[in-house]
Amino acid sequence: MTADTIPEWTAHALPEMTDDLRRLVELETPSYDKGLLDTGLARIHDWLTERLGAAAQARRYPGGEYGDALELNYPGDAPGTVLVLCHYDTVWPAGTLADWPFRVSEGKATGPGAFDMKLGLVQAVWALRCLRSLDIPAPSVRFLLNGDEEIGSPFAREHIERLSEGVLATLVCEASVDGALKTERKGVGLFEVAVRGLESHAGLDPDAGVSAIHELASMVPALVGMTDRSKGTTVNVGTIEGGTGRNVVAKHARCGIDIRISDPAEMRRIDEVLAGLRPVNPSAEVTVRGGWNRPPMVPNPGSDSLLAMAQRIAKEYGWQLEHAAVGGASDGNFVAALGRPVLDGLGAVGAGAHARHEHVRTEHIPSRTALLAGILRGLGEQPT
């Protein structure tokens, strides 16, 4: 086998991979639509079985109000196991396909969820098909498909953390950054600050009330002031709600806050600031809700070794593989926070996540699939 064998195989498979992408994109799977998530996951399971055969072990974990998680284990012919993470939910509501159908034009495939991240799942499945077809040894592969990633994986997190224990590596098939892997991601905190005041007539008796809106407004500078760009920390007060009328001193007000951090130590500082919020008027009450949705993804020695392997493989194939730090989070954050080896951004090359110009560049589908196959091959050649 030469270094060109895998890329040649994946290049030949491009039409079939594109057809599979169409098949998955045309399954609408919005994060908040339990019925469509259930139907979509069942059909994705059928498709996986068509492409790879029945899994040696298949477990579907009921997600309650959230999308179910599906674990599929395929035995390999090399030591160890690799966990492959793919989410099947998208941010797009039911009916989006009606005015934005899947299409391929001028080297771009577009449709809701094509880039984020249904192509990543297609590429992962075809990478394993490639190795099987070429009789190249690889470790066992454990797929975990979850339907709540776009809303923070509140259900799937425990399964991700449990199933990533003891594996050779966790490969996350989220979309790339213009072809670069994602080796650092920010952690995410989602909080709400709520204030309770006292209503009164704004004209007849303004001093009898305690304005929750005024109290909240006095706190916003302190909230925004938690930003520390030197440490990679940003704070966004994204929503403010409150009051019942312009002539009523507001009894209730609240704001929604998105916090991104690069340094895990920042979590403690932020928590202390939020816990210390106090109203100007002692008659008002302040309540902080929410928490840390995902810890930061920080490189560790195992992840660094995975990156070096991926870059060697790309070089064998004749191209250079870059890596990048990004502000968004993924399920890979959970794995990295446990100190386990993880490589993210192995999916599509394209742009427009969560936007109407979402698309993938079809010319890169074979090379990204070959990269995944090469990493699996490389992990099978390493001592466990």
Catalytic choice (149, 215, 266, 358): 149
Residue that finishes a domain, picked among 235, 262, 294: 294
Mean pLDDT of the chain: 97
Is residue 143 located within the same domain as residue 200? no
List of residues 6+ apart from 262 with CB closer than 8 A: 184, 186, 187, 231, 232, 233, 296, 298, 325
Is residue 84 located within the same domain as residue 175? yes
Q: What is the pLDDT of residue 257?
A: 98
**pLDDT by residue (tens digit) across 165-212?**
999 999 999 999 999 999 999 999 999 999 999 999 999 999 999 999
**pLDDT by residue (tens digit) across 270-281?**
999 999 999 999
Residue 2 clears pLDDT 70, i.e. is over it: no
Is residue 132 located within the same domain as residue 63? yes
**pLDDT by residue (tens digit) across 339-352?**
999 999 999 999 99
Is residue 95 located within the same domain as residue 23? yes
Is residue 275 located within the same domain as residue 311? no
In the block, tokens 């390493």 appear at 382
List the domain range (segments joined by +) for residue 191: 187-294
Give the chain as a 3 state SS string: CCCCHHHHHHHHCHHHHHHHHHHHHCCCCECCCHHHHHHHHHHHHHHHHHHHCCCCEEEEECCCCCCCEEEEEECCCCCCEEEEEEECCECCCCCHHHHCCCEEECCEEECCCHHHHHHHHHHHHHHHHHHHHCCCCCCEEEEEEECCHHHCCCCCHHHHHHHCCCCCEEEECCCCECCEEEEEECEEEEEEEEEECECEECCCCHHHCECHHHHHHHHHHHHHCCCEHHHCEEEEEEEEEECCCCCEECCEEEEEEEEEECCCCHHHHHHHHHHCCCCCCCCCEEEEEEEEEECCECCCHHHHHHHHHHHHHHHHHCCCCCEEEECCCCCHHHHHHCCCCEEECCCCCEECCCCCCCEEEHHHHHHHHHHHHHHHHHHHHCCC
Is residue 220 located within the same domain as residue 277? yes
Is residue 21 located within the same domain as residue 146? yes
> What is d(CA 98, CA 140) in angstroms, rounded to the nearest whole number?
39
Is residue 116 located within the same domain as residue 148? yes
Q: Would you call 263 a catalytic residue per the annotation? A: no
Q: What is the pLDDT of residue 171?
A: 98
Q: What is the pLDDT of residue 1?
A: 54
Catalytic choice (71, 89, 266, 331): 89
Is residue 289 located within the same domain as residue 301? no
Q: What is the pLDDT of residue 88?
A: 98
For residue 177, the tally of other CB atoms under 10 A from its CB is 17
Residue that finishes a domain, picked among 277, 294, 311: 294
Cis preceding linkage at 226, omega within 30: no
Q: What is the pLDDT of residue 117?
A: 97
Give 155-209 as a 3 state SS string: CCHHHHHHHCCCCCEEEECCCCECCEEEEEECEEEEEEEEEECECEECCCCHHHC
What is the mean predicted confidence (pLDDT) over 56-76? 98
Q: Would you call 89 a catalytic residue per the annotation? A: yes
Cβ proximity of 161 and 338 under 8 Å: yes
Residue 17 clears pLDDT 60, i.e. is over it: yes
- Of all residues in the chain, what percent carry a pLDDT higher than 90? 98
66: domain CATH number is 3.40.630.10
Is residue 15 located within the same domain as residue 142? yes
Q: What is the pLDDT of residue 3?
A: 60
Q: What pTM does this model have?
A: 0.92
Q: What's the one-letter identity of residue 138? A: A
**pLDDT by residue (tens digit) across 238-271?**
999 999 999 999 999 999 999 999 999 999 999 9
Residue that finishes a domain, picked among 241, 274, 294: 294
Is residue 314 located within the same domain as residue 284? no
Q: What is the pLDDT of residue 382?
A: 81
Is residue 146 located within the same domain as residue 157? yes
**pLDDT by residue (tens digit) across 215-227?**
999 999 999 999 9
For the chain, the domain total comes to 2
209: domain CATH number is 3.30.70.360
**pLDDT by residue (tens digit) across 138-167?**
999 999 999 999 999 999 999 999 999 999
CA 168 to chain centroid: 21
